[in-house]
Amino acid sequence: MYKANRYNEANFTVTNQLVKEVISLPMHTELDDEQIAFIT
């Protein structure tokens, strides 16, 4: 979707800044101990 020619990465200044600052970890109730250990 974002690779479409109608989008220019420079137009997403807030998103580009957040990519540099935010870490998103997978988390949900169905993670088992092995998955949790891998994530952490």
- Tell me if 22 sits within 8 A of 15, measured CB to CB: no
- Tell me if 23 sits within 8 A of 16, measured CB to CB: no
22-39: per-residue pLDDT in tens? Answer: 998 998 999 999 999 999
Delimit the domains of the chain by residue range: 9-39
The residues, ordered by sequence, that sit 6+ positions from 25 with a Cβ below 8 Å of its Cβ are 39
Question: Which pair of structure tokens corresponds to residue 13?
Answer: 């200044």
2-26: per-residue pLDDT in tens? Answer: 677 888 888 899 999 999 999 989 9
Whether the pTM exceeds 0.95: the reply is no
- Indicate whether 1 pLDDT > 80: no
Distance CA 30, CA 3 (A): 32
